[in-house]
Chain A
Amino acid sequence: MVNQNLYNYILGIGDNSLILGQRLGELCGHGPSLETDIAGTNISLDLIGQTRSYYQYAAKLSEKEITEDDIAFLRSEREYRNTLLVEQPNTHFGFVIARQYLFDVFHLLLLQELQHSKDDTLAAIAKKGIKEVSYHKRFSGDWIKRLGDGTEESNEKMQEAIDGLWRYTDELFEMTDADKEMVTEGIGVDLSKLKETYYQEVTELLTEATLQVPERKYFNYGGKKGVHTEHMGYLLADLQYMQRTYPNMQW
Protein backbone atom coordinates (compact mmCIF):
# COMPACT_ATOMS: atom_id res chain seq x y z
CA MET A 1 0.00 0.00 0.00
CA VAL A 2 1.49 3.28 -1.08
CA ASN A 3 1.56 6.12 1.37
CA GLN A 4 -0.37 8.53 -0.84
CA ASN A 5 0.29 11.43 1.47
CA LEU A 6 4.02 10.86 1.28
CA TYR A 7 3.82 10.60 -2.52
CA ASN A 8 1.88 13.87 -2.76
CA TYR A 9 4.19 15.48 -0.27
CA ILE A 10 7.29 14.63 -2.30
CA LEU A 11 5.68 15.92 -5.49
CA GLY A 12 4.66 19.12 -3.72
CA ILE A 13 8.28 19.85 -2.90
CA GLY A 14 9.71 18.57 -6.18
CA ASP A 15 7.25 20.55 -8.32
CA ASN A 16 8.50 23.86 -6.91
CA SER A 17 12.02 22.98 -7.97
CA LEU A 18 10.96 21.71 -11.40
CA ILE A 19 8.86 24.72 -12.31
CA LEU A 20 11.35 27.30 -11.06
CA GLY A 21 14.10 25.33 -12.78
CA GLN A 22 12.12 25.48 -16.02
CA ARG A 23 11.55 29.23 -15.67
CA LEU A 24 15.27 29.83 -15.16
CA GLY A 25 16.06 27.48 -18.02
CA GLU A 26 14.00 29.72 -20.31
CA LEU A 27 16.61 32.41 -19.67
CA CYS A 28 19.42 30.32 -21.15
CA GLY A 29 21.04 32.59 -23.74
CA HIS A 30 18.71 35.48 -22.80
CA GLY A 31 20.21 36.72 -19.55
CA PRO A 32 21.00 40.45 -19.31
CA SER A 33 24.73 39.68 -19.04
CA LEU A 34 26.87 36.61 -19.50
CA GLU A 35 27.41 36.20 -15.75
CA THR A 36 23.74 36.40 -14.85
CA ASP A 37 22.86 34.12 -17.75
CA ILE A 38 25.28 31.48 -16.47
CA ALA A 39 24.05 31.98 -12.91
CA GLY A 40 20.40 31.47 -13.95
CA THR A 41 21.15 28.25 -15.78
CA ASN A 42 23.44 26.98 -13.01
CA ILE A 43 20.70 27.52 -10.44
CA SER A 44 18.26 25.89 -12.83
CA LEU A 45 20.53 22.87 -13.09
CA ASP A 46 20.74 22.52 -9.30
CA LEU A 47 16.97 22.74 -9.02
CA ILE A 48 16.32 20.20 -11.78
CA GLY A 49 18.90 17.91 -10.17
CA GLN A 50 17.01 18.13 -6.88
CA THR A 51 13.75 17.53 -8.75
CA ARG A 52 15.16 14.33 -10.22
CA SER A 53 16.02 13.04 -6.75
CA TYR A 54 12.49 13.78 -5.51
CA TYR A 55 10.76 12.29 -8.56
CA GLN A 56 12.97 9.19 -8.64
CA TYR A 57 12.00 8.58 -5.06
CA ALA A 58 8.30 9.20 -5.78
CA ALA A 59 8.42 6.88 -8.80
CA LYS A 60 9.92 4.17 -6.61
CA LEU A 61 7.11 4.59 -4.08
CA SER A 62 4.38 4.53 -6.70
CA GLU A 63 2.44 1.34 -7.36
CA LYS A 64 2.44 2.14 -11.05
CA GLU A 65 5.32 1.45 -13.40
CA ILE A 66 6.42 5.05 -13.79
CA THR A 67 9.69 6.92 -14.04
CA GLU A 68 10.83 10.38 -13.04
CA ASP A 69 10.13 11.51 -16.63
CA ASP A 70 6.47 10.46 -16.46
CA ILE A 71 6.07 12.57 -13.35
CA ALA A 72 7.82 15.56 -14.88
CA PHE A 73 6.30 15.50 -18.36
CA LEU A 74 3.01 13.64 -18.38
CA ARG A 75 0.81 15.26 -15.81
CA SER A 76 -1.93 17.75 -16.53
CA GLU A 77 -1.80 21.27 -15.19
CA ARG A 78 -4.11 20.51 -12.28
CA GLU A 79 -1.82 17.75 -11.10
CA TYR A 80 1.17 20.04 -10.49
CA ARG A 81 1.39 21.16 -6.87
CA ASN A 82 3.92 23.96 -7.14
CA THR A 83 3.24 27.32 -5.53
CA LEU A 84 2.07 30.20 -7.72
CA LEU A 85 5.24 32.18 -7.01
CA VAL A 86 7.61 29.92 -8.95
CA GLU A 87 5.49 29.80 -12.12
CA GLN A 88 5.41 33.59 -12.53
CA PRO A 89 6.98 34.68 -15.83
CA ASN A 90 10.42 36.23 -16.46
CA THR A 91 8.92 39.68 -16.98
CA HIS A 92 12.13 41.65 -16.41
CA PHE A 93 15.35 40.90 -14.55
CA GLY A 94 14.00 42.50 -11.37
CA PHE A 95 11.17 39.95 -11.38
CA VAL A 96 13.56 37.08 -12.00
CA ILE A 97 15.66 38.12 -9.01
CA ALA A 98 12.72 38.93 -6.72
CA ARG A 99 11.02 35.60 -7.52
CA GLN A 100 14.32 33.82 -6.88
CA TYR A 101 15.02 35.55 -3.60
CA LEU A 102 11.48 35.18 -2.24
CA PHE A 103 11.70 31.48 -3.01
CA ASP A 104 15.33 30.93 -1.91
CA VAL A 105 14.71 32.20 1.62
CA PHE A 106 11.75 29.83 1.96
CA HIS A 107 13.58 26.97 0.24
CA LEU A 108 16.57 27.12 2.57
CA LEU A 109 14.37 27.25 5.68
CA LEU A 110 12.41 24.27 4.36
CA LEU A 111 15.48 22.14 3.62
CA GLN A 112 17.10 23.00 6.95
CA GLU A 113 14.09 21.42 8.64
CA LEU A 114 13.62 18.62 6.12
CA GLN A 115 17.16 17.34 6.75
CA HIS A 116 15.88 16.14 10.14
CA SER A 117 13.03 14.19 8.56
CA LYS A 118 12.43 10.64 9.73
CA ASP A 119 12.42 9.69 6.07
CA ASP A 120 16.08 8.97 5.23
CA THR A 121 15.79 9.69 1.52
CA LEU A 122 14.12 13.07 2.00
CA ALA A 123 16.67 13.94 4.69
CA ALA A 124 19.53 13.09 2.31
CA ILE A 125 18.08 15.11 -0.59
CA ALA A 126 17.57 18.05 1.75
CA LYS A 127 21.08 17.90 3.15
CA LYS A 128 22.55 17.87 -0.33
CA GLY A 129 20.29 20.73 -1.41
CA ILE A 130 21.14 23.00 1.52
CA LYS A 131 24.66 23.56 0.20
CA GLU A 132 23.32 24.52 -3.20
CA VAL A 133 20.42 26.65 -2.08
CA SER A 134 22.59 28.67 0.33
CA TYR A 135 24.59 29.72 -2.71
CA HIS A 136 21.44 30.58 -4.69
CA LYS A 137 20.25 32.80 -1.87
CA ARG A 138 23.56 34.59 -1.69
CA PHE A 139 23.32 35.34 -5.41
CA SER A 140 19.70 36.53 -5.42
CA GLY A 141 20.10 38.46 -2.15
CA ASP A 142 23.15 40.29 -3.50
CA TRP A 143 21.24 41.35 -6.59
CA ILE A 144 18.26 42.59 -4.55
CA LYS A 145 20.67 44.84 -2.65
CA ARG A 146 22.52 45.94 -5.77
CA LEU A 147 19.37 46.84 -7.67
CA GLY A 148 17.36 48.12 -4.73
CA ASP A 149 20.19 50.34 -3.54
CA GLY A 150 21.33 51.14 -7.09
CA THR A 151 20.01 53.83 -9.38
CA GLU A 152 16.60 55.45 -9.18
CA GLU A 153 15.43 53.31 -12.08
CA SER A 154 16.79 50.03 -10.72
CA ASN A 155 15.22 50.77 -7.34
CA GLU A 156 11.88 51.47 -9.00
CA LYS A 157 11.98 48.25 -11.01
CA MET A 158 13.03 46.16 -8.04
CA GLN A 159 10.23 47.65 -5.97
CA GLU A 160 7.75 46.94 -8.76
CA ALA A 161 8.86 43.29 -8.78
CA ILE A 162 8.64 42.90 -5.00
CA ASP A 163 5.20 44.53 -4.95
CA GLY A 164 4.04 42.35 -7.82
CA LEU A 165 5.21 39.06 -6.33
CA TRP A 166 4.48 39.69 -2.66
CA ARG A 167 0.92 38.39 -3.02
CA TYR A 168 2.28 34.90 -3.67
CA THR A 169 4.49 34.63 -0.58
CA ASP A 170 1.89 33.50 1.94
CA GLU A 171 1.04 30.41 -0.08
CA LEU A 172 4.55 29.07 0.59
CA PHE A 173 3.41 28.39 4.15
CA GLU A 174 -0.01 26.93 3.34
CA MET A 175 -0.45 23.50 4.87
CA THR A 176 -2.17 20.94 2.62
CA ASP A 177 -3.60 17.67 3.96
CA ALA A 178 -0.43 15.91 2.84
CA ASP A 179 1.68 18.50 4.68
CA LYS A 180 -0.31 18.06 7.89
CA GLU A 181 -0.22 14.28 7.74
CA MET A 182 3.51 14.24 7.09
CA VAL A 183 4.17 16.55 10.04
CA THR A 184 2.24 14.14 12.28
CA GLU A 185 4.37 11.27 11.02
CA GLY A 186 7.61 13.17 11.67
CA ILE A 187 8.46 13.19 7.97
CA GLY A 188 7.29 16.60 6.82
CA VAL A 189 8.00 20.16 7.86
CA ASP A 190 5.55 22.34 9.74
CA LEU A 191 5.58 25.28 7.33
CA SER A 192 3.63 27.58 9.64
CA LYS A 193 6.64 27.59 11.97
CA LEU A 194 8.90 28.98 9.23
CA LYS A 195 6.74 31.95 8.46
CA GLU A 196 7.92 34.39 11.10
CA THR A 197 11.60 33.78 10.39
CA TYR A 198 10.90 34.12 6.68
CA TYR A 199 9.24 37.52 6.82
CA GLN A 200 11.78 38.75 9.34
CA GLU A 201 14.69 37.80 7.12
CA VAL A 202 13.09 39.18 3.95
CA THR A 203 12.18 42.42 5.72
CA GLU A 204 15.76 42.91 6.90
CA LEU A 205 17.19 42.45 3.44
CA LEU A 206 14.61 44.64 1.71
CA THR A 207 15.25 47.38 4.25
CA GLU A 208 18.99 47.11 3.67
CA ALA A 209 18.28 47.34 -0.05
CA THR A 210 16.31 50.58 0.60
CA LEU A 211 13.12 48.90 -0.62
CA GLN A 212 9.68 49.16 0.95
CA VAL A 213 8.20 46.04 2.49
CA PRO A 214 4.72 45.75 0.98
CA GLU A 215 1.79 45.92 3.36
CA ARG A 216 -0.72 43.50 2.07
CA LYS A 217 -3.63 41.84 3.72
CA TYR A 218 -4.75 39.67 0.82
CA PHE A 219 -2.74 36.91 -0.74
CA ASN A 220 -3.22 34.56 -3.68
CA TYR A 221 -3.39 30.82 -3.18
CA GLY A 222 -4.23 27.83 -5.34
CA GLY A 223 -1.04 26.30 -6.74
CA LYS A 224 -0.68 23.77 -3.97
CA LYS A 225 -4.19 22.57 -4.78
CA GLY A 226 -3.46 22.46 -8.51
CA VAL A 227 -5.24 25.70 -9.38
CA HIS A 228 -2.64 27.74 -11.21
CA THR A 229 -2.28 31.20 -12.71
CA GLU A 230 -2.74 31.73 -16.44
CA HIS A 231 1.03 31.48 -16.97
CA MET A 232 1.27 27.84 -16.04
CA GLY A 233 -0.30 26.44 -19.21
CA TYR A 234 2.23 28.21 -21.42
CA LEU A 235 5.08 27.01 -19.26
CA LEU A 236 3.88 23.41 -19.46
CA ALA A 237 3.36 23.65 -23.21
CA ASP A 238 7.07 24.35 -23.51
CA LEU A 239 8.13 21.86 -20.86
CA GLN A 240 6.06 18.98 -22.17
CA TYR A 241 6.26 19.67 -25.90
CA MET A 242 8.62 16.86 -26.89
CA GLN A 243 6.94 14.13 -24.85
CA ARG A 244 3.46 15.18 -25.97
CA THR A 245 4.43 15.44 -29.63
CA TYR A 246 6.64 12.35 -29.79
CA PRO A 247 5.43 10.12 -26.95
CA ASN A 248 8.18 8.07 -25.27
CA MET A 249 10.90 9.69 -27.36
CA GLN A 250 14.39 9.48 -25.92
CA TRP A 251 17.47 11.57 -26.49
Chain B
Amino acid sequence: MTIELHPNIDAHLLETLESVSDPEIPVLSVLDLGVIRKAVEDNGTVKIKLTPTYSGCPAMDVIGDDLTKAFAAIGKDTEVELVLSPAWTTDWISEAGKRKMEEYGIAAPLEESADKEALLGNKKLVKCTLCGSTNTHLVSQFGSTACKALFKCDDCLEPFDYFKCLK
Protein backbone atom coordinates (compact mmCIF):
# COMPACT_ATOMS: atom_id res chain seq x y z
CA MET B 1 0.00 0.00 0.00
CA THR B 2 1.38 3.37 -0.92
CA ILE B 3 0.52 6.62 0.78
CA GLU B 4 -1.63 7.89 -2.07
CA LEU B 5 -4.04 5.01 -1.64
CA HIS B 6 -4.97 6.35 1.80
CA PRO B 7 -7.55 9.05 1.57
CA ASN B 8 -6.61 12.36 3.05
CA ILE B 9 -9.56 13.28 5.24
CA ASP B 10 -9.93 15.84 8.05
CA ALA B 11 -11.06 14.03 11.20
CA HIS B 12 -13.85 16.53 11.99
CA LEU B 13 -15.51 15.86 8.62
CA LEU B 14 -15.77 12.10 9.14
CA GLU B 15 -19.12 12.14 10.88
CA THR B 16 -20.86 14.01 8.07
CA LEU B 17 -19.17 11.91 5.40
CA GLU B 18 -20.25 8.77 7.21
CA SER B 19 -23.88 9.96 6.94
CA VAL B 20 -23.79 9.95 3.13
CA SER B 21 -24.39 6.57 1.58
CA ASP B 22 -24.29 4.91 -1.80
CA PRO B 23 -27.83 5.30 -3.21
CA GLU B 24 -27.69 1.80 -4.72
CA ILE B 25 -26.30 0.11 -1.59
CA PRO B 26 -27.68 2.26 1.22
CA VAL B 27 -25.92 0.31 3.97
CA LEU B 28 -22.55 1.46 2.65
CA SER B 29 -21.35 4.94 3.48
CA VAL B 30 -19.13 6.76 1.01
CA LEU B 31 -16.26 6.09 3.42
CA ASP B 32 -16.96 2.35 3.46
CA LEU B 33 -16.99 2.41 -0.32
CA GLY B 34 -13.63 4.17 -0.48
CA VAL B 35 -14.73 6.74 -3.04
CA ILE B 36 -13.71 9.78 -0.96
CA ARG B 37 -10.08 10.36 -1.85
CA LYS B 38 -9.72 13.67 -0.09
CA ALA B 39 -11.82 15.87 2.16
CA VAL B 40 -10.29 18.93 3.75
CA GLU B 41 -11.74 22.15 5.08
CA ASP B 42 -10.12 25.19 3.60
CA ASN B 43 -11.35 28.69 4.55
CA GLY B 44 -14.78 27.37 5.50
CA THR B 45 -15.21 25.37 2.30
CA VAL B 46 -15.07 21.60 2.33
CA LYS B 47 -13.07 20.43 -0.65
CA ILE B 48 -13.81 16.87 -1.62
CA LYS B 49 -12.20 14.64 -4.19
CA LEU B 50 -14.53 11.87 -5.25
CA THR B 51 -13.58 8.96 -7.48
CA PRO B 52 -16.09 6.89 -9.46
CA THR B 53 -16.31 3.13 -9.00
CA TYR B 54 -17.14 2.63 -12.70
CA SER B 55 -16.89 5.38 -15.38
CA GLY B 56 -20.60 5.40 -16.01
CA CYS B 57 -21.81 4.89 -12.46
CA PRO B 58 -24.93 7.08 -12.18
CA ALA B 59 -24.60 7.03 -8.39
CA MET B 60 -21.68 9.46 -8.60
CA ASP B 61 -23.81 12.48 -9.49
CA VAL B 62 -26.21 11.61 -6.69
CA ILE B 63 -23.37 11.12 -4.19
CA GLY B 64 -21.92 14.50 -5.19
CA ASP B 65 -25.30 16.19 -4.58
CA ASP B 66 -25.83 14.31 -1.31
CA LEU B 67 -22.42 15.40 -0.03
CA THR B 68 -23.20 19.03 -0.83
CA LYS B 69 -26.55 18.74 0.96
CA ALA B 70 -25.08 17.02 4.01
CA PHE B 71 -22.48 19.72 4.50
CA ALA B 72 -24.97 22.50 3.75
CA ALA B 73 -27.04 21.14 6.65
CA ILE B 74 -24.18 21.91 9.03
CA GLY B 75 -23.55 25.26 7.39
CA LYS B 76 -20.59 24.42 5.20
CA ASP B 77 -20.00 25.10 1.52
CA THR B 78 -18.68 22.23 -0.54
CA GLU B 79 -16.64 21.82 -3.69
CA VAL B 80 -16.81 18.33 -5.11
CA GLU B 81 -14.28 17.36 -7.72
CA LEU B 82 -14.36 14.08 -9.61
CA VAL B 83 -10.95 12.47 -9.95
CA LEU B 84 -10.14 9.45 -12.12
CA SER B 85 -6.59 8.71 -11.09
CA PRO B 86 -5.63 6.52 -9.34
CA ALA B 87 -8.54 4.37 -10.51
CA TRP B 88 -10.83 2.99 -7.83
CA THR B 89 -10.40 -0.63 -6.83
CA THR B 90 -12.54 -2.92 -4.67
CA ASP B 91 -9.56 -3.07 -2.27
CA TRP B 92 -10.65 0.35 -1.06
CA ILE B 93 -13.93 -0.97 0.32
CA SER B 94 -13.42 -1.11 4.10
CA GLU B 95 -13.64 -4.36 6.06
CA ALA B 96 -16.69 -2.98 7.84
CA GLY B 97 -18.13 -2.15 4.43
CA LYS B 98 -17.65 -5.69 3.19
CA ARG B 99 -19.39 -7.05 6.28
CA LYS B 100 -22.35 -4.67 5.90
CA MET B 101 -22.58 -5.54 2.23
CA GLU B 102 -22.82 -9.26 3.02
CA GLU B 103 -25.50 -8.64 5.63
CA TYR B 104 -27.40 -6.61 3.06
CA GLY B 105 -27.38 -9.59 0.69
CA ILE B 106 -24.53 -8.77 -1.67
CA ALA B 107 -21.54 -11.13 -1.69
CA ALA B 108 -18.34 -9.14 -1.14
CA PRO B 109 -15.62 -9.23 -3.81
CA LEU B 110 -13.15 -12.12 -3.71
CA GLU B 111 -9.50 -11.46 -4.37
CA GLU B 112 -8.48 -11.11 -8.01
CA SER B 113 -7.56 -14.65 -9.06
CA ALA B 114 -10.45 -16.24 -7.13
CA ASP B 115 -12.81 -13.70 -8.67
CA LYS B 116 -11.67 -14.69 -12.14
CA GLU B 117 -12.16 -18.40 -11.46
CA ALA B 118 -15.61 -17.74 -10.06
CA LEU B 119 -16.73 -15.51 -12.94
CA LEU B 120 -15.42 -17.94 -15.53
CA GLY B 121 -17.35 -20.70 -13.79
CA ASN B 122 -14.20 -22.75 -13.15
CA LYS B 123 -14.57 -22.92 -9.38
CA LYS B 124 -17.40 -22.50 -6.92
CA LEU B 125 -16.05 -19.83 -4.62
CA VAL B 126 -18.75 -17.21 -4.17
CA LYS B 127 -20.59 -17.71 -0.91
CA CYS B 128 -24.38 -17.46 -0.82
CA THR B 129 -25.33 -14.51 1.35
CA LEU B 130 -28.40 -16.32 2.66
CA CYS B 131 -27.17 -19.81 3.62
CA GLY B 132 -23.39 -19.48 3.33
CA SER B 133 -22.96 -22.34 0.85
CA THR B 134 -20.37 -22.01 -1.90
CA ASN B 135 -22.40 -24.36 -4.08
CA THR B 136 -23.37 -21.41 -6.28
CA HIS B 137 -23.24 -20.60 -9.97
CA LEU B 138 -23.00 -17.53 -12.15
CA VAL B 139 -26.30 -16.56 -13.75
CA SER B 140 -25.18 -13.37 -15.45
CA GLN B 141 -21.82 -11.62 -15.80
CA PHE B 142 -23.64 -8.33 -15.47
CA GLY B 143 -26.07 -7.55 -12.68
CA SER B 144 -28.40 -4.83 -11.50
CA THR B 145 -25.57 -2.29 -11.51
CA ALA B 146 -22.21 -2.08 -13.29
CA CYS B 147 -20.33 -3.26 -10.20
CA LYS B 148 -22.23 -6.51 -9.68
CA ALA B 149 -22.76 -9.94 -11.24
CA LEU B 150 -25.75 -12.18 -10.60
CA PHE B 151 -25.32 -15.55 -8.86
CA LYS B 152 -27.65 -18.27 -7.70
CA CYS B 153 -27.24 -20.66 -4.79
CA ASP B 154 -27.71 -24.32 -5.74
CA ASP B 155 -28.44 -25.32 -2.14
CA CYS B 156 -31.03 -22.80 -0.94
CA LEU B 157 -31.88 -21.73 -4.53
CA GLU B 158 -31.74 -18.02 -3.72
CA PRO B 159 -30.43 -15.64 -6.38
CA PHE B 160 -28.06 -12.95 -5.09
CA ASP B 161 -25.71 -10.21 -6.24
CA TYR B 162 -21.95 -10.55 -6.17
CA PHE B 163 -19.81 -7.41 -6.06
CA LYS B 164 -17.15 -7.99 -8.72
CA CYS B 165 -13.48 -7.61 -7.90
CA LEU B 166 -12.06 -4.58 -9.70
CA LYS B 167 -8.33 -3.99 -9.78
Binds B, one of A124-132, A168-176, A177-185, A201-209: A124-132
B residues less than 8 Å from A165 (CB atoms): none
Residue among B52, B55, B85, B145 with most chain A CB within 10 A: B55
B140 touching A39 by the CB < 8 A rule? yes
Main secondary structure of the interface of B (DSSP, over half): loop
A139 touching B142 by the CB < 8 A rule? yes
Main secondary structure of the interface of A (DSSP, over half): helix
Q: Report the contact-size class of chain A (Cβ under 8 Å from the partner).
A: 20 to 34
B139 within 8 Å of A (CB atoms): yes
B84 within 8 Å of A (CB atoms): yes
Q: In the bound complex, how far is the Cα of B119 from the Cα of A224, in angstroms?
A: 36
B139 touching A35 by the CB < 8 A rule? yes
A residues less than 8 Å from B85 (CB atoms): 120, 123-124, 127-128
CB within 8 Å of B: which of A91-134?
120-121, 123-125, 127-129, 131-132
A42 touching B146 by the CB < 8 A rule? yes
B12 within 8 Å of A (CB atoms): no
A135 within 8 Å of B (CB atoms): yes
Q: Taking the nearest CB of chain B, how far is it from the CB of A171, in angstroms? A: 24
B residues less than 8 Å from A121 (CB atoms): 84
CB contact between B55 and one of A34, A38, A39, A52 (< 8 Å): that residue? A52
A residues less than 8 Å from B143 (CB atoms): 38, 42
**How many A-B residue pairs lie within 8 Å, measured between CB atoms?**
72
* Chain B minimum-CB-distance residue to A39: B142
A residues less than 8 Å from B146 (CB atoms): 42, 45-46, 132
CB contact between B58 and one of A43, A45, A135 (< 8 Å): that residue? A45
A186 within 8 Å of B (CB atoms): no
* Chain A minimum-CB-distance residue to B85: A124
List chain B positions with a Cβ less than 8 A from chain A: 52, 54-58, 84-88, 139-146, 150, 164, 166-167
> Could you list some 23 contacts between A and B, CB below 8 A?
A34-B140, A35-B140, A35-B142, A38-B140, A38-B142, A42-B145, A42-B146, A43-B142, A44-B56, A45-B57, A48-B56, A49-B52, A49-B55, A50-B56, A125-B84, A127-B86, A128-B52, A128-B84, A128-B85, A128-B87, A131-B166, A138-B141, A139-B141
List chain A positions with a Cβ less than 8 A from chain B: 34-35, 38-39, 42-50, 52-53, 120-121, 123-125, 127-129, 131-132, 135, 138-139
